[in-house]
Amino acid sequence: MAEVVLFHHALGLTPGVTAFAGELRQAGHTVHTPDLFEGRTLGGIEEGMAYVQELGFGAVIERGTRAVEHLPAGLVYAGFSLGVLPAQKLAQTRPGARGALLYYACVPLSEFGDAWPDGVPVQVHGMDADPVFAGEGDIDFAREVVDSAGQGELFLYPGDQHYFADRTLPSYDADAAALLLSRTLAFLGSVA
């Protein structure tokens, strides 16, 4: 089974994120869920992003990097939205990465290096009309990452929600979330 580090979105380590991690654990995977906000959860994306602006994106990435220092190589790095930043950085730069699962977001390859590392498969998941993922250019970065990876997949879901797999939020889409989970489990099975 795979060992996964799952980074939360800008609302913090919500019950929806921990429930998703629980689904992966039920399938037999080891899942670490670092709390980049040290116990704080926020009520909405705007509030969450305001808090991130206070912390700084660099601090969030640094917290994510520190969270895995004690863990072995051979990890799958996963992140929801904001959590994509440390997940993508670690997948691109920490030796031994087994794969990357990037949900709702993606950044340019050049943010953390020149290319996607050889032998590291990646999946990117987002909604095709999400104002953040599709509207702010992440979908283009996702295509760049997937094209650069030897084993890359971009999955687009119909809809305009950002946090569509967090079952505790109004943006939850049960059908899309079930498909995302199924594809995630297949991915983890292929890298275990």
The confidence band for 145, taking pLDDT boundaries of 50, 70 and 90, is very high
- Position 116 scores a pLDDT of 96
The mean pLDDT of 172-183, rounded to a whole number, is 98
Quick one: which H or E segment has residue 2?
Answer: none
What is the tens place of the pLDDT at every residue in 51-101?
999 999 999 999 999 999 999 999 999 999 999 999 999 999 999 999 999
Mean pLDDT, rounded, of the chain: 96
pLDDT for residue 173 is more than 90? yes
Question: Is this prediction's pTM over 0.85?
Answer: yes
**First CA to last CA across the chain, in angstroms?**
5
Is 90 exceeded by the pLDDT of residue 137?
Answer: yes
7-60 pLDDT, tens digit per residue, is 999 999 999 999 999 999 999 999 999 999 999 999 888 888 999 999 999 999
Query: Which of the following CATH numbers is that of domain 3-191: 3.40.50.1010, 3.30.450.40, 3.40.50.1820, 3.30.465.10?
Result: 3.40.50.1820
* pLDDT tier, 139 (very low <50, low <70, confident <90, very high otherwise): very high
The pLDDT of residue 44 is 86
Mean pLDDT of 108-126: 95
Crossing angle of helices 174-191 and 15-26, rounded to 10°: 50
Residue 192 confidence (pLDDT): 85
Contact 81, 10 (CB under 8 A): yes
Give the mean model confidence (pLDDT) for residues 160-171: 95
Could you give the strand order of the β-sheet that contains 122-127, starting from the edge strand earlier in sequence? 30-32, 3-7, 76-80, 99-103, 122-127, 152-157
- Residues 157, 128 contacting (CB under 8 angstroms): yes
